[in-house]
Structure 1
Amino acid sequence: MRNVLFSMVAVALAGTAFAGERYNKVVKPGDKAPTFSGVPAYSPSGEQTSLTLSDLKDDVVVVVFLANHCPAVVGVEDRLNEFTSEYKDKGVRVVGICVNDIEEDKLPAILKRVTDKNDKKINYVYGHDETQAVGKAYGATRTPYFFVLDKERTIRYLGAFDDNAKEEKVTKHYVKDAVDALLAGKSPAVEESQAAGCGIQYKK
């Protein structure tokens, strides 16, 4: 079933037009990033911590909405880890947040996820917002969903990590290009793309 879902995501990403369209109905490039505080989280070492946007002093912050169960998230994990490692000493911070209300995505599962020696290790702080308020504030509808914030915490890019679920077919590196532009004092050439992945189920 995971392979079927992953294939569907690959098709959706490959067939999506990314130029000049609004995909997020809540926030847009140029908006101030919604703040958040005290989101329970775990560091890659398994240490319990919390995520507060105002505590992050890095030049660029990449907020990504994730879900443990989602094949699209699994498919991008290696690329996200590589990105985090490459940019951690360049003033860039990656933080993951999950808002799903299912057991395999809640905080105990996230702890297992970051400490399981048999699983892929992640190298960024990963938290769970049981209120789902953060996801709603950012208009996150799918996982993974990326938001690149500049030094003033303005949203400068939002959407997919790159343009294909299959790494060998990637031709456009949206998040990386946006971060590189900001670090160089420029504006990202692409400011929004359509996130493709598993839908987030919000509680009513």
Structure 2
Amino acid sequence: MPSYHEVRLYLNGLWLLIRGDAQGFRLLDISDRGMMRSFWAFVWCLPAAAISWLWWRAYLLEGMPAGARVGGLFFVRMAMLEVFNWLVPLILAGILCALLGIGRKFSAVVVSVNWLSVPFAYLYGLLSLRFLLPSSLDALLALVHFALLIAMVVSVSRVMRMICGPQPLMVTGLVLVLIVPGMLLTEALQRFLGIYPF
């Protein structure tokens, strides 16, 4: 598993790419080995994801009869949902890269998206923690949630532009397949897995 020092280097590289500095590629391992190691980002995201799961569990219990319980299977299903939302966009991105003839750039796409997930996972985790606490600022928190979504879209767009160059249609296509499928399918999967609050 990549060390904390390595992860910091990767995140610094991504920050440079977001700012439009190609030197960021020097801090990322975009080799085939680096692509496979980038999936350790999922493990790095787990603590933050667990906070989000706890918030969703509390939200789910609110819509259930008093005294109802949610067992350990809930967390297994949440983990399944996370894995699906992680892998499907990357698979679609791989298909799109093959169709566009830019398969050589796929490893850079995977590495970038995987490690970019880490800071956003913790930002969403902090937001979920705030949702867990009693608050009269629900509208403000919802606005912050929307702002994080915009920040994620902008970040992914800028990184994809650095990878693909000035190719607006190509960049737009990659951003869409990396972000939209998870947004569209999450609710359907939650209902299928029985973890959607009714």
| TM-score bin, normalised by smaller chain | under 0.3
Q: Which of the two has greater strand per residue?
A: 1
TM-score for the superposition, normalised by structure 1: 0.26
TM-score for the superposition, normalised by structure 2: 0.27
